[in-house]
Amino acid sequence: MPFVVAVDGPAGSGKSSVSKEVARRLDFGFLDTGAAYRALAWHAEASGIDTDDAASVVSCLDSFDYRIGTDPTGYSVQVGAVDVTEAIRDPQISAVVSAVARVPEVRRHLIELFRSIMAAVDASGIIVEGRDITTVVAPDAPVRILLTASEAVRMGRRSAELTGSSVEAVGEQLRKRDAADSKVVDFMTAADGVTTVDSTELDFDQTVEAVIGVIREAA
């Protein structure tokens, strides 16, 4: 198993962009687990499945052919031959992904997939980010971080990313998603042994440096 850095945090905490940059600077692999839940939600919708119906969602796991691109300059994801990198960021997918992610069989299936990706990574280390990485997917990782930021800052950052959406609309969706996701896993409080990095007062570069600092301390 490579050196695993587990990063959890709520929506809009910056964990994807920060983790991706940390991985780039350290020449580590990177795994965005939320992208896989999003891709499964996309696959369910593309298959005409009602994402609120758990049994139907489970039935499309067998045909879920999830692939991560090898382009070192970006992180692309595919379902079968279809590149869904952009499509999985659509607000429609954000609105239904929690319903897909709360199904226990979906979680078991994806956790297994994540562990096999981690074991096969072609680098000395891998940054894995999501909601349950520090507690369920890789609880024995040598570095475990909870990346947080105040709700106001998270909403502001997310609405800046989604051009054309108001802070209020983005905030509403973010709150709804965090509330739904929190019923499944606790990613708002750090579990025992998990280091909290609060980026409320930090800019992007400072947050990247703070995470690298935690990794260097443990390495």
Binding site for ligand C5P (CB under 6 A): 11, 33-34, 37-38, 97-98, 101, 130-133, 177, 181
Smaller CB separation from ligand C5P, 94 or 195: 94
The residues that bridge with 129 in the sheet, in sequence order, are 7, 32
- Residue 114 CB, shortest distance to ligand C5P, in Å, is 8
Contact 143, 218 (CB under 8 A): yes
Give me the amino acid identity at 148.
T
> CA-to-CA distance for 25 and 2, rounded, in angstroms?
17
Q: Tokens at residue 190, please?
A: 């750090």
Smaller CB separation from ligand C5P, 104 or 213: 104
- Residue 184 CB, shortest distance to ligand C5P, in Å, is 6
Contact 51, 103 (CB under 8 A): no
- Residue 179 CB, shortest distance to ligand C5P, in Å, is 11
- Residue 116 CB, shortest distance to ligand C5P, in Å, is 15
Give me the amino acid identity at 131.
R
Helix, strand, or coil here: 130? strand
Give me the amino acid identity at 71.
D
Please name the residue that has the structure tokens 């606790």: 186
Smaller CB separation from ligand C5P, 163 or 217: 163
Helix, strand, or coil here: 76? coil
Smaller CB separation from ligand C5P, 152 or 217: 152
- Residue 181 CB, shortest distance to ligand C5P, in Å, is 5
Smaller CB separation from ligand C5P, 33 or 217: 33
Q: Degrees (nearest 5) of the Cα angle 12, 181, 15?
A: 30
Smaller CB separation from ligand C5P, 132 or 210: 132
- Residue 141 CB, shortest distance to ligand C5P, in Å, is 13
> CA-to-CA distance for 159 and 13, rounded, in angstroms?
12
